[in-house]
Amino acid sequence: MRILVCVKQLLEPETPLCIDESGRWVNISQTTPRQMNRFDEYALEQALVIREQTPDTTVDAISAGPESCSTVVRRALGMGADHGIHLLTGDQGYVSPIRTASCIALAARSRKYDLILAGVMSEDMAQGLVGPMVAEMLSLPCATSCIFVRVELAKASVYVEREIEGGRRQALELDLPALVSIQSGINKPRYPSLSNIMRANRQKLEVISTVAAEPSRSCEDLLHLSYPRKTRAGVLLEGTRKDKARQLLRVFRERSLLH
């Protein structure tokens, strides 16, 4: 079977963020360290597990974004994906999920994947929209936030368990081809192996320019960004580490939390 995994590149979460002059995005330099969205690592790992269990299975990884995104596709190859696709966009700043989804759907349509996996959301935007939007654009059945996935080739279906609130799971059977978004904790994502990294470095990525096929629709406008307001006092303790420890113990005693 043919599996596609959608992977996104993010700034490292600890990167200090500063809103730019336009007030509509943050300052990002070429050198800002980046990494793969961790929810996508779980999705990719799941694809690799399915490949181990299912004969004649190939795993493609796809990422839509600027030049820098090629490294996240290479990382996917390093983890073990067979083939990497980079949808090169000229996008800067906020990118509408509908646009990302249109790019991915356009590339995926002709390739006839049996299963498309995506992380449940990206850590930076936390929208959770691209995966299920791709599914709708390709008219695929879709289940989100899955914490268990088992392909049943004989039935041409996939059995999934969606994580829902209250410690419960919803069990579903989807006809293939389908799109499934993956929740963290479903597996333990592997690190790239040396042999795969070497292969990844030699291998050519398939680069598709999406500029020509620009899906023009953007449905929302990012008006402006701001820093969050404090909802509580948020008093920061000052002084040496020991000073701060003593102050905190005093706060605990004043509130009768400690005696």
Partner 1 sequence: METTVAVVAEHRLGLVNPVTYEAIACALEILRIRPSRLVTITIGEDSEEAGRQIAAKTGSQVLALKVPGLEEFNGDAYRTILAGLLAELEPAWVCIPGTSQGLDFSPGLAVRLGQCCISNVERVVERDGEPAFARSLFNGKIVAELSSLIAKTLLMVQPGAFSAVFTGSHSPGVVETRTIEWKSTHIRSLGFRIAQSADSALAEASVIVSAGRGVGSKENLDLVRRVASLFSKSTIAGSRPLCDLGWLPYQLQVGQTGATVTPDLYLACGISGAQQHLAGMGGSKFIVAVNTDPNAAIFNVADVGVVDDLEGFLSDLLEESNACSHK
Residue whose entry in the numeric block shows the structure tokens 């620009």:
214
| Interior angle at CA 186, CA 151 and CA 52, nearest 5 | 45
Helix (H/G/I), strand (E/B), else coil: 200 = helix
Which run of H or of E encompasses 70? Answer: helix 70-79
Q: State the Cα–Cα distance between residues 202 and 11, nearest whole angstrom.
A: 25
The entry of ligand FAD, partner 1, none near residue 235 (CB within 5 to 8 angstroms by kind) is: partner 1
Q: Considering only residues 64 through 83, tell me which ones interact with partner 1, judged by CB under 8 A.
A: none
Report the residue from 120, 133, 179, 182 that binds ligand FAD according to the rule CB under 6 A: 120
> Contacting partner 1 (CB under 8 A), which of 50, 87, 174, 200?
174
What binding mask, one character per residue, do residues 137-166 give for ligand FAD by CB under 6 A, x or -? Answer: --------x---------------------
Closer residue to ligand FAD, CB minimum distance, 55 or 166: 166
229 binds, among partner 1, ligand FAD, none (CB under 5 to 8 A by kind): partner 1
**171/211 with CB nearer partner 1:** 171
Minimum distance between the CB of residue 13 and partner 1, rounded to whole angstroms?
Answer: 6
As measured in angstroms, the least distance from the Cβ of 179 to partner 1 is: 10
Tokens of 8: 């996104």
DSSP per-residue string spanning 126-181: ----HHHHHHHHTT--EEEEEEEEEEEGGGTEEEEEEEETTTEEEEEEEESSEEEE
Take residue 168 and report the two structure tokens written for it. Answer: 């419960």
